[in-house]
Structure 1
Amino acid sequence: MFVGFDYGSANCSIGYMENDSVKMVPLTDNGNYIMSTLYAMDRELIAEAVYRDLPDDQKANYAKLRSSQLRRAKAVRNELDLDPNEQAVFIGEEAFNHYLDMPEEGFYVRSPKSFLGAKGLRADQIALFEDIVTLMMQRVKQQAEKKLEATITHAVIGRPVNFQAIGGEESNQQAEAILSVAAKRAGFQAVEFLFEPIAAGMDFEASLDREKSVLVVDVGGGTTDCSLIKMSPERLLETNRNNDCLGHSGQRIGGNDIDISLAMQGLMPEFGSESLLNNSRKIPQQPFWNAVAINDISAQREFAALSCKTLLADLMKDTDSPEKLSRLQYAQEHKLSYQIVKCAESAKIGLSDSNNHAVELNFIEQDLTVDLSLATFVQAIESPVSKIESLMKLAVEKAGCKPEIIYVTGGTARSPAIHDRIKQVYPNIEIIVGDHFGSVTAGLARWAHRVF
């Protein structure tokens, strides 16, 4: 069976073609999407979980590659008093719920796709990301096959134009290699990749009745991709669209960055980010940025380090707001960064339909609530939204022609702040908002049906 697989920064989904229309696979009891999150009681148990679901012909080679991790996994099971077959690694909503129950324990990662193109990854870090992505793909594939009552053999997987703002093609090759290895280990016999904005545009193209030049703006969880594409009903049937893609741009800037910016400017003041020291200087900002920068491995490592704990203890002696800074100490001690940013994400969603949103931070301090306004949100996200605007202009510049339609998609695209900025940049061009989550998956499904 052939499918389109959107391995997204925020969510994973699978679609397929049936009677010339796209069908989404219900991956959970509540919908078509699985959160791109993983929780392991110990990171050494991830390789063990991968090994158990590998195709038989790959197990021997994988066991050789991960011999030390598999050996340590046995010791970890004894230390944690886990039964040999007791589940110890979780994905999706299950992963997030385990993290909420035990944030200071275990190993939790959100949006692993955001890290795949990172520069300077060591061999052991690349191996870990291969295992994380493999396990997630295994579980998503298994769930889809269970629902479809069929074996999935071929997949078209979406990828951003650029996985990283820096690193260029080397970062793209590294990320695509990780995805390729993971897909093979997950049991896919053949895999093709397709730029996500092109996939999103393909779904929209099916609704056109004549040729149009369309700027597809895909604002996802971890990346924003823009492509100016010539579309028409006739082109929809072609298998090579290279000449129709007139200009691309992409960068690792998306919903996660908006959440982080909102957390920093909207929530961190209640953790002491605007307090002063005894010498009347503003408190150092780095610990606060590190606390919310959940898509930056180095920042998270620094925030969790003993040196950060020592720094915060020293700052407590000098700050004019010790009661606020103590909240950051609590977040650092109990590893609550993801929960804080998750609250910012909920506020972002709430502010899409309202001018105000109350953020409850009871997990930090009883009855702690922060009221955020739409105006605060717009101000907080100025930097990431400006970068999205620049990407749109770059794609148009590369294409050498202006779009007739702007098609906006991606989970973050529902924000009025994004719409308003696009209208400001292109006031006289029709803007169409697509399925916020399903456009890419639908396009990938169409392409899988075509190329396989």
Structure 2
Amino acid sequence: MISGFDYGTSNCAIGVLNNKDNQHSAVELLPLERGHAFIPSALYAIERELICENVARLIGNKTLQPDYLNLRSNQLNLARAVRSREGISADEQSLFIGLDAFDEYQAMTGEGYFVKSPKSFLGASGLRSEFLAFFEDIVTAMMQGIKQRAEKHLGDSITHTVIGRPVNFQGRDAEASNRQAIDILTIAAKRAGFQSIEFLFEPLAAGLDFEAKLTEDKTVLVVDVGGGTTDCAMVRMGPSFRDNELRENDFLGHSGERIGGNDLDIQLAGRSLMPVFGMESLLKNGLPMPTQTFWDAVSTNDVAAQTVFNSMQTEQRIQQWLLDSTEPELIQRLIKFRAEKQNYQLVRSAEQCKISLSDNMLCAVELSYIEEQLRCDVSREQFASAIERPLAKMTELMDEAILQAGQQPDLIYITGGSAKSPVIRQAIQQQLGDIEVVDGDHFGSVAAGLTVWANKVFR
């Protein structure tokens, strides 16, 4: 079968074209977890070394298995040693994805290996070969699990797919970054069992879903605020264009950068939640508490920041703050937070707060997993203030795409989970003035568009 695969930063989805009546075809997003079409981009392993073992066991294309076993021989030996040392039986589940990964992470505080939004790391510069291999395994394990769930629902195998990609995975050295990320995704998709793989820009995919509904030609600015990136595309759409096999000439301008919903969550976590750990407290000498360590704590999409936060130097620095702070009880809370590796959990709380503030003016963030009865009230106004800098960058990307196209759009089509926020929608409207703004399916438009395109390129 043919599919569209949205391997997203925050959530993943996979779609197929359903034409059971042989007359009318419609995109069907397949249920992947607890009856829902979207599965959070998260993975938890009882032990880090067991990830490659799961990949080896579930490689979809068995002709690739011998080469993989040879490449990962050292890691597989480590995995066997870990199973023996920890008493983990061969039939015990050791890897979880999606909501199950969050459940295990929260139940096993401070233990195991947890990663959220691995797509954020794929284009990171300066990664050593062993880290690239590790990211290949993480992505492969997630793709294997998602593909298996989709095929179980269909009762059929999925062999061809179009995978969404941002315009740029990273801002710096974009060409090399994009090449590295695409290589990782391609290798992972092949090991997961896809025989044919193509890629399509995510904003264009989101626009294809919208284009099917247009009754007249329009020049559309597609603004896709994803979890890891914001992508903008100026596209000619409508009845005169949608049957074109090649769309390059209809793609008038595009821009994109690694700034998305995750960055909004991190900014909100830093400015509104980290103060309960002492971020805005004073030292006994009257100086303010240094803030960089607190930002490192919540920068869960930054490998370097996480490395620094978990370093011995940071532990020693925090211990010194415990002596120097005017509010040592807050620093003690930070010490416990760091020891129990609750930073991903805190950023997820910020994400849930962001979602709540789409419909409410105030959100009470429950932090009882940090400390009993701990909570923090956050207003929509505070959220707007917290995300001011990344939001300004998002609107700059819109201007860049319009400048490339050399014309104003007839309408603006906004999609992506974070674009649901009234704060972001208002910023878009203020930036471009009196141009109609249309909301898409904030979560499913990319997967739907990828599915439509897959059935064009593979038919």
Q: TM-score, normalised to structure 1's length?
A: 0.99
Query: What is the DSSP-based 3-state SS (H/G/I as helix, E as strand, rest coil) of the residue aligned with 1:236?
Result: coil
Select which of 208, 224, 227 maps to 2:230.
Answer: 224
- 1: CA distance, partners of 2:65 / 2:379: 53
1:96 and 2:102 are equivalent in the alignment: yes
Q: Residue 11 of structure 2 aligns with which residue? A: 11
1:42 and 2:47 are equivalent in the alignment: yes
Query: Conserved in 2, the CA contact under 8 Å of 1:6 and 1:444?
Result: yes
CA deviation after TM superposition for structure 1 residue 85, in Å: 2.2
CA deviation after TM superposition for structure 1 residue 29, in Å: 2.5
Q: Residue 32 of structure 2 aligns with which residue? A: 27
Match runs of 1:326-337 below 5 Å: 326-337=332-343
**CA deviations over 1:187-235 (Å, ceiling 9, x no partner):** 1000000000000000000011111000000001111100000101131
Percentage of matched positions with identical amino acids: 52
Q: Residue 85 of structure 1 aligns with which residue? A: 91
**One-letter amino acid matched to 1:105:** E
Select which of 292, 308, 311 maps to 2:317.
Answer: 311
CA deviation after TM superposition for structure 1 residue 280, in Å: 1.5
Query: What is the DSSP-based 3-state SS (H/G/I as helix, E as strand, rest coil) of the residue aligned with 1:352?
Result: coil
Q: Residue 243 of structure 2 aligns with which residue? A: 237
Match runs of 1:360-399 below 5 Å: 360-399=366-405
- 1: CA distance, partners of 2:363 / 2:35: 25
1:159 and 2:165 are equivalent in the alignment: yes
1:193 and 2:193 are equivalent in the alignment: no
**CA deviations over 1:35-75 (Å, ceiling 9, x no partner):** 11000111110110000011321111100000000011000
1:179 and 2:185 are equivalent in the alignment: yes
**CA deviations over 1:245-297 (Å, ceiling 9, x no partner):** 11110011111000000000011111111111122211111110011000011
- 1: CA distance, partners of 2:48 / 2:443: 30
Query: What is the DSSP-based 3-state SS (H/G/I as helix, E as strand, rest coil) of the residue aligned with 1:164?
Result: coil
Q: TM-score, normalised to structure 2's length?
A: 0.97
- 2: CA distance, partners of 1:15 / 1:418: 28
1:249 and 2:255 are equivalent in the alignment: yes
**CA deviations over 1:332-367 (Å, ceiling 9, x no partner):** 111100111111111101111111010111111111
**One-letter amino acid matched to 2:198:** E
Q: Residue 292 of structure 1 aligns with which residue? A: 298
Match runs of 1:417-432 below 5 Å: 417-432=423-438
**CA deviations over 1:20-46 (Å, ceiling 9, x no partner):** 321111112231011110001111101
Alpha-carbon RMSD:
0.8
**Mean Cα deviation higher: 415-424 or 13-22:** 13-22
Unaligned runs of 5+ in 2: 19-23
**One-letter amino acid matched to 2:9:** S
- 1: CA distance, partners of 2:97 / 2:353: 24
**Mean Cα deviation higher: 297-306 or 59-68:** 297-306
Structure 1 outlier segments of 4+, above 3 Å? none
CA deviation after TM superposition for structure 1 residue 183, in Å: 0.6
Query: What is the DSSP-based 3-state SS (H/G/I as helix, E as strand, rest coil) of the residue aligned with 1:265?
Result: helix
- 1: CA distance, partners of 2:109 / 2:395: 36
- 1: CA distance, partners of 2:57 / 2:131: 21
Q: Residue 347 of structure 1 aligns with which residue? A: 353
Unaligned runs of 5+ in 1: none
Q: Residue 106 of structure 1 aligns with which residue? A: 112
- 2: CA distance, partners of 1:297 / 1:309: 18
1:433 and 2:455 are equivalent in the alignment: no
